[in-house]
Amino acid sequence: MSESLLIAQVTDPHIRPSNISYRGVNVRQHFLNVLAVLAKKPLDLMILSGDLASVEGEPESYAWIRQALHDFPHPYVLMAGNHDHVVRMMNAFDMPNSDEVTQGMLYFSRKIKNRQMLFLDSSPYRIAKEQLEWLENKFMESDEPTLLFVHHPPVICDCKFMDEHAVLQNIDEVWKTLDKIPQIQHIFCGHYHADKTVIYNDKFIHLTPSTAFQIDTETPHFIIKHTRPGWRIIEWKNKQINTHVEYL
C-alpha cells in the first residue's frame, strides 16, 4: 500500500437556487473558485460532504451543482447534510439505488487504491440504528484501516454556538458504536463551518471549513468569522494520514 491516495473534502457550499447571495456571500462563485483550484491538483477523489443546498434541498441548487461539476476532471462522491433532501439529491444526480440507500438515507462505502472509506448520512441530525449496525458489521471480519466521513461531528467540539444549537442528536449512541471500531482512527466532518481537529478516545475528528463562510467558534452567538472559502486535503500513504486545510 505504498501508493499515495489524495482526497479533497469540500463541504457546506449552501448553493442557492438562484444566483443571489447567502448571508451576503456569493456562494456560487466561491464554489466555482474552489473547483478551479482543485481541478489542478492530482486528486484521486473529491468528497462533497453535505449541505450542498442552501436551506432544504432545493432542486435548482442541485441542478446548478451538477452543471458546475460537468467538466471537473476528478471522481467525486456526494453526501447529505441537514440542509439537503436525499431523494431530490439522488434524482438530480442520477445516483443509483442500492441496498445501502434505504428509507431515504444515503450511506455507502468506496474503495480506491485498495483503501476503504465509509460514508454515513446524518442529514436528519441523527445517524439511524440501521447505519450504525451496517457500520459495525463492516468490521466483523476485517481489520482494514478505514476513513469515516459524516456531515455532523460525533462529538462536542468546543465550538460554542454550534455545540449549543446544531449538535448531532444521538451522539452517545453513535459514539458507543465508534468506540468499538479501532480500525477507524480518523473521522472527517463538515457542518460546523470551522477548521478544527478534536481528539477523543484516541480518534481524530477533523472539522472542515465551508466554501461559503466560517463561523466563530468562541462566541455563543452566531457570528461569521470570515468568508474565505476553505477545504481539506487528505493524503493517505501507507498507514499514515496527513491532512491540512487550505483557503482561498
User: What is the tally of structural domains in the chain?
Assistant: 1
pLDDT value of position 2: 57
CATH number of the domain enclosing 37: 3.60.21.10
Q: State the CB neighbour count (10 A cutoff) for residue 143.
A: 8
Q: State the CB neighbour count (10 A cutoff) for residue 194.
A: 23
pLDDT in tens, the chain (248 residues): 458 999 999 999 999 999 888 888 899 999 999 999 999 999 999 999 999 999 999 999 999 999 999 999 999 999 999 999 999 999 899 887 665 566 789 999 999 999 999 999 999 999 999 999 999 999 987 889 999 999 999 999 999 999 999 999 999 999 999 999 999 999 999 999 999 999 999 999 999 999 999 999 999 999 999 999 999 999 999 889 999 999 99
Phi and psi angles of residue 78, each rounded to the nearest 5 degrees, phi first: -115, 135
Q: How far apart are CA 204 and CA 76, in angstroms?
A: 23
pLDDT value of position 149: 98
CB 63 within 8 A of CB 89: no
Structural domain for 243, as ranges = 5-247
Per-residue cell: 162:
454550534
**Beta partners for 247?**
230
**Confidence (pTM):** 0.96
Strands 5-10 and 203-207: unpaired
pLDDT value of position 32: 98
pLDDT value of position 21: 83
- Going from the C-alpha of 151 to that of each of 1, 134, 185, the distances in angstroms are 28, 17, 17
pLDDT value of position 97: 67
Per-residue cell: 79:
453526501
pLDDT value of position 238: 86
Q: How far apart are CA 79 and CA 51, in angstroms?
A: 8
* Three-state secondary structure call for residue 141: coil
Q: State the CB neighbour count (10 A cutoff) for residue 118.
A: 22
Residues found in the chain: 248
CB 10 within 8 A of CB 34: yes
